[in-house]
Structure 1
């Protein structure tokens, strides 16, 4: 595919996104940026959340991951359903009842200042790391498809990627994101369906033969019961449930979209349909992965060393131009639907949780001051993402989706422990000690994971280290408890 065609496709795509941002960002203020004035249709939020939840990591890493893990990822996806049920019935009613802009305001009301700031800090850390991983992936694809041919350095590719996000999010914030994510999800899912269809045509497979070929392949095994492997069903199912709770329910990025719905009923309908659709969509990605490997084997194409490179390589170097265009639209849509909302959520959390923005105040003078500050914060987080991506490029040696979940196990664990303690006990804690507990718990979790085979008779931790991390935080909070019970906010 020629670089000129690539730049034409991407330019047209971003012109469309910027046009949407201009329409949705008119007369925007802090309320619009942070909450979309609580007027988002639930079905738009649900559909857009699919793209934000999946991201470019799913688009590339999940298909590539099939060779090493088969369809075992579906065990995690089934666990998501349990996690989303908890979010819809426990967390979302709490957030709506407290009328929160930043969900970490709950920790302030439940425990106090230091717990609140610790929770917000761990979100910022988690989301910066996660968003950087995802942007690293799409920047790598753009480098392969376009910038390598022009001799442009990877750092420039990353900078262009982030600048494009900034251009269409800085004005309208979450209101713009709700609409652009809907468009981007449509592009992403259309791309997957079209590529599956075109590969089936290349291999001369009917719909029935396609299903049979995938199900009878060596890649299609879903359930694994060996307790010592990280692919064990129970490990992955419960890890999936807790990953959904922390990476959606305790994540300002994902919850900020839900909090733009008109009421709790609409938000719960959004979560219900989103969770069911996500199961089908993830199965599509795994089927695509199996087809990519089957296609490469059939055509005698060498499999790249990094599994994340398989889909881009085939789409850009071996399939026809139409598939290449569809792939580019899909990966760009998938990556940006996650990264744009992450940048908005980071700005929201920092402004509300650390700069004490009061979105209920709407005087003209305050709005002007907040808008200027918000713009500076938005630029600052854009620069931070750039730096983290460049560091990640130097150290990454595994599939990005594995890296994302591994990092989540350590950065979201303290949030899991804090919320579990707050929701399921009446105890109050010595607030000043909470940051210490939340620093020690990931360290202890890492040490336990590193030496688990010697300490636990051969047991190896997978993504369920997140649960252990949360449990250590919970125990640490028990040690900080005060004698009197709390009259603070609970369900």
Structure 2
């Protein structure tokens, strides 16, 4: 397939996004950028957030997991469904009641500046690493299958894509993203359904036949009953629930779109709708993964034990190429399917890329401006000065994204979905601990370095436990429940350093000083 033809479609898609951005960013201001003037339509937000929550990781990595793990990933998705209810009926009412622009302002009102800054910084670290890992995965596919043949360096590819994202989010922010995410989710789902339908047709399979063949190859195995395994059902269920609570409910990017909806009831509708739609879409991606393996087997592929990175690992070979994991979908789409399917794959892939990157860039800009710089608290700056600061921060984060993607390329990890879930466990754990401590206790935290220090110590302890768990506990492996362990250790540590809540016996002066600190 001609790389020039594929590049033409990518460029045309970008021009479409710019057109949407121009239309939605007219008469925009800082409130438009941060929360869309609280006028977003909940149905558009729910539909568009499918693309944000799934991203290019789902599009590329999830189908590749089926060959070894079957439908095991869907155990995590069931956990996601449970987590969305916690977000909808515990966290969202709190955010709307407090009329928050940044959700980390909750920590300011509950504990004070130290906890507030700590929470915001952990979000910034978490979202930067997670978003750039997802971005790297998709850019790398574009590079390998299109731009390498055009002799375009990886660094230049990354720069151009980030420049594209920067251009269409620069003015409109959240208002623009609500519409572009809807457009991009549509393209992603069209690409998914077309690929599934085409491969079923090529293999002469109906829906019932597809399920029967997947079952015969054990590709649709769902429940993992090995309690020592990192993919054990109960671990995946609880881990998935807490990942949603942390990576959606305690994440400024995801909540920024939700609180841009006019009222709480509509925002809750958005969250529950998202939970159902996401489950359906991921299930179809898993079916696609099974179909891709069946298609490859039909072309003469076979599993073989080999060495990867010095360790024994199962490989899936087709024409002497290892196509297991993240390589599966793009390899087959570009090399064994008609050109039109390759074009649809590319459009679906970049449609999965942009929602996970544009929203992250906007949310990080918002959090840094509001939480770290104090843009809304500082009355000495006029609207023009605030806008200039916000744009400078936006460009700075684009540069940081560029550097992180280059680092991921240097690391060149072949299974990005694993590294993203691990990063989430380490970086969102302290956020989970801080918010749960604020919600479930009435104790107060000191205004000292003890809070950020503890939030660094807890992940370090988790890493040590995770690294040695198999030796200590007879082969038991810690999976995505790492997030729960991290949050629990943070909660316990916060309880140890906390103080009793204020009572009527406290002096009025002490209470007044604390209130001034919070403001």
Task: Determine if the TM-score, normalized by the shorter chain, exceeds 0.5.
Answer: yes
> What is the CA distance between 1:360 and its match in structure 2?
11
CA distance in structure 2 between the partners assigned to 1:73 and 1:212 by the alignment: 20
Match of 1:2 in 2: 2
Shift, 1:458, TM fit = 2.6
Match runs of 1:81-480 below 5 Å: 81-301=81-301, 302=318, 304=322, 307-358=325-376, 366-432=382-448, 433-480=450-497
In the alignment, what sits opposite 2:312? none
Alpha-carbon distance in 1 for matches of 2:15, 2:29? 23
Where do 5+ consecutive residues of structure 2 fail to align? 302-317, 504-510
Cα deviation code 1:112-158 (max 9, x no counterpart): 11100010001000011011111101111111232111112111111
CA shift in 2, pair 1:157/1:427, >3 Å: same
Distance 2:405 2:259 in 1: 29
Superposition RMSD in Å = 1.7
1:46/1:270 contact within 8 Å kept? yes
Decide which moves more: 475-484 or 402-411.
Answer: 475-484
TM-superposed CA distance for 1:383, in Å, is: 0.5
Unaligned runs of 5+ in 1: none
Asked whether the equivalents of residues 93 and 264 of structure 1 are also in contact (C-alpha less than 8 Å), the reply is yes
CA distances 1:277-334 after superposition (whole Å, capped 9, x unpaired): 1111110010101111110011114152551111111111111011001100000000
- Report the equivalent of 1:13: 13
User: Take 2:323 and 2:141, find their aligned partners in 1: how far apart are those partners?
Assistant: 16
1:132–1:306 distance in 2 versus 1, CA, 3 Å: farther
- Alpha-carbon distance between aligned partners in 1 of 2:135 and 2:291, rounded to the nearest angstrom: 25
Q: CA deviation at 1:204?
A: 1.5
Alignment-derived partner of residue 64 in structure 2? 64
Partner SS state of residue 479, structure 2:
coil
Question: How far apart in 2 are the matches of 1:385 and 1:133?
Answer: 9
Residue 34 of structure 1 pairs with residue 34 of structure 2 = yes
CA contact (8 A) 2:323 2:331 kept: no
Is the Cα contact below 8 Å between 1:48 and 1:181 reproduced in 2? yes
Please name the residue that 1:23 is paired with. Answer: 23
Counterpart Cα distance in 2 of 1:459 and 1:29: 53
Distance 1:336 1:291 in 2: 26
Distance 2:461 2:237 in 1: 23
Distance 1:296 1:89 in 2: 45
- Partner secondary structure for residue 4 of structure 1: helix
Contact 1:31–1:359 under 8 Å retained in 2:
no
Based on CA coordinates, which of the two structures has the bigger radius of gyration?
2
State which drifts further: 136-145 or 26-35.
136-145
Question: Is the 2:424–2:483 contact (alpha carbons within 8 Å) kept by the matching residues of 1?
Answer: yes
| 476-485 or 74-83, which deviates more | 476-485
Determine if contact 1:306/1:399 at 8 Å carries over to the other structure. no
**Structure 1 length normalisation: TM-score?**
0.96
**CA–CA separation in structure 2 for the residues paired with 1:23 and 1:278:** 28
Distance in 1, matches of 2:326 and 2:254, equals: 25
Q: Is the 8 A contact 1:62 1:286 kept in 2?
A: yes
Rounded Cα–Cα distance in structure 2 between residues aligned with 1:164 and 1:309: 25
Kindly indicate whether the alpha-carbon contact (under 8 Å) linking 2:442 and 2:501 is maintained by their aligned counterparts in 1: no
Please give the alpha-carbon distance, in whole angstroms, between the structure 2 residues aligned to 1:107 and 1:484.
Answer: 15
Cα pair 1:306 1:398 within 8 Å, conserved = no
**In the TM superposition, what is the alpha-carbon distance from 1:218 to its structure 2 partner?**
2.0
Q: Secondary structure at the match of 2:444?
A: strand
Q: Give, in whole Å, the separation in 2 of the partners of 1:216 and 1:421.
A: 48
Paired residue secondary structure (2:501) = strand
Q: Are the equivalent residues in 1 in contact too, given 2:64–2:329 (CA < 8 A)? A: yes
CA distance in 2, matches of 1:124, 1:138: 21
Aligned counterparts of 2:94 and 2:444: Cα–Cα separation in 1? 18
Contact 2:67 2:324 in 1 (8 A): no
